[in-house]
Structure 1
Amino acid sequence: MPLHSQQNPNVETIADKARWMRKRAMEMVFAKKLGHLGGDYSATDILATLYFGVLDFDPKSPNWAARDRFIMSKGHATGALYTALCAAGYFPEDWLDTYMGPGSKLNGHPNRNYLPGVEANTGPLGHGFPIALGIAIAGQISGATYRTFVLTGDGEQQEGSNWEAAMTAGHRRLSNLTLIIDRNRLQQGARTEDTAGLDPLDEKYRAFGWEVIKVDGHDHAALLDTLRAPSATGKPRCVIANTIKGKGVSFMEDLAKWHHGVPNPDEYEQAMKELA
């Protein structure tokens, strides 16, 4: 049996983990003057819910065959991913202090060759979703019981590879596949709708043969109910999680400059007070 399972998820525990993840990510990025806090913080509540309420996995046996698979397609948001993996028990907390340092296993983009719990190397946007598609197809063919989850950014939806994956998943009725879109409506330097408009995103996925659900991406209870639920239609599931870039720190919220901004000392102190 896995060490972590979704038998008794607790919303308060998920909220506590999310607060810790935000604080540690802030410490990591401030220390190294590198990172993507805005996208980390829009995704934190999603990751906390997945790892502490949804996914079946065993950090002591990362390659356990029956584990659920999670792909972090928005691979630049490593502050959120690494803190989630650490909190879930995949590696000791002192590894976080090496973030983006010389020889660190915690690169700017996740690397499965270095870090337990990472299913695929990601970072170049548009790669993770097709990888998740392949994993889900393998599960469908073999009759495996695991589920596959993939988190993409919304700006990432402008990559054509995602729509090839969406078309194939709909055609194959991959009910074991859940795509989560971090819909913070901002990408590097601008709003998504000013760059290459995505709306109506829900109607596009339905047209490709997907079951689509919209959810508040910072509401742990709503995320838990949505992500734990199996497909009701026998189709792949697209969860559009409406989020706020920089969520949790007042001066960072909904601003494109925090895509890869680093706080100065005064901003850091204010942020840590707000995240306490």
Structure 2
Amino acid sequence: MEIQELKVKASQIRMDLLTIIHRAKTGHTGGSLSNTDILTALYYEIMNIDPANSKWEDRDRFIASKGHSVESLWCVLADRGFFPREELETYSQFGTRLIGHPNNKVPGIEMNTGALGHGLPISVGMALAAKRDGRSYRVFCLMGDGEQAEGSNWEAAMAGAHYKLDNLVGIIDRNRLQISGSTEEVMGLEPLDEKWAAFGWNVVSINGNDMEELLQAFRAVPEVPGKPTLIMANTTKGKGVSFAENVPAWHHHVPNDEELALALSELSASIEELTQKGQVQ
């Protein structure tokens, strides 16, 4: 897809995720909005996947360690054809497969996640298995920044470097906010990039809401052979909705009717602007 198409797609995914959260009256809105560009870059341009064969042995693996921000992932998987789009209407309803965290009963989900600090250790195991089995697939693991306070992440970071897993990509959705406020007030993380580098990872810091920067970073992997890559994706929590951006309460705020209408209007205007810009170019 062209850059403009990817940007339009990201705005459409944001509209979808806001709609299903509003319908279900539950969800993690801010983080899903911040990680949408990351997921769009991966699922529409970077990862080697086949929605018609979700268990293909040589597929790239994606692990959503920050499993609470699942709404964007559900919308991307539905749009890519892993399951019918109509099923999004069942999100968080009784008996649904589309629960509030990734559920491996759904095609495209490798494992159940949600307990923070679990995704990267399992990703290390998957990447190590690929190396030992002579497989070419890569493993992408999306983590939250508040999740960096979990010690299991640092054990996994040490193992990833020790086994020279250059087929492993860790991504931190660095929006600097967690449920109880600023990450630096709750549990200071900085200098976060230097810490990951000290654990033996190749660290790339980018604007995680900039599609060009995301694609450039992902396409360069492995930039340093023999080293896993950590992409520090600096994002804005609530990205794409002006009144939700950088507002801690939107971590799990459910938009009311008025807020949903306003948010969808803003995103529609963004799509129209992007479309017109693409036509002019």
Give the alignment's TM-score, normalised by structure 2: 0.93
Tell me which of 155, 169, 191 is aligned to 1:200: 191
Q: Which residue is 2:51 aligned to?
A: 59
Whole-angstrom CA distance in 2 between matches of 1:137 and 1:94: 37
Q: Which residue is 1:272 aligned to?
A: 264
Q: Deviations over 1:134-176 (max 9, x none)?
A: 1001011112100110000000111111000001001111100
Whole-angstrom CA distance in 2 between matches of 1:160 and 1:271: 37
Structure 1 residue 134 corresponds to structure 2 residue 125: yes
Q: Deviations over 1:11-39 (max 9, x none)?
A: 12211221111001011011111001100
Structure 1 residue 186 corresponds to structure 2 residue 162: no
Amino acid at match of 1:37: T
Tell me which of 171, 175, 188 is aligned to 2:166: 175
- What does 1:1-276 correspond to in 2, within 5 Å? 9-112=1-104, 114-234=105-225, 235-276=227-268
8 Å Cα contact 1:147-1:177 kept in structure 2? yes
Whole-angstrom CA distance in 1 between matches of 2:40 and 2:78: 11
Q: Structure 2 regions of 5+ residues with no counterpart?
A: 269-281
Whole-angstrom CA distance in 2 between matches of 1:143 and 1:21: 35
Whole-angstrom CA distance in 1 between matches of 2:34 and 2:228: 23
Q: Which residue is 2:277 aligned to?
A: none
**3-state DSSP of counterpart to 1:204:** helix
Q: Structure 1 regions of 5+ residues with no counterpart?
A: 1-8
**3-state DSSP of counterpart to 2:34:** helix
Q: Deviations over 1:54-106 (max 9, x none)?
A: 00000110010111011011101111110111111101110000000011110
Q: Deviations over 1:230-253 (max 9, x none)?
A: 222220000000000000001100
Q: Which residue is 1:3 aligned to?
A: none
8 Å Cα contact 1:10-1:53 kept in structure 2? no
Amino acid at match of 1:233: V
Amino acid at match of 2:10: A
Whole-angstrom CA distance in 1 between matches of 2:214 and 2:23: 31
Amino acid at match of 2:46: V
8 Å Cα contact 1:17-1:87 kept in structure 2? no
Identity %, equivalent residues: 49
**3-state DSSP of counterpart to 1:203:** helix
8 Å Cα contact 2:180-2:186 kept in structure 1? no
- CA RMSD after TM alignment: 0.8
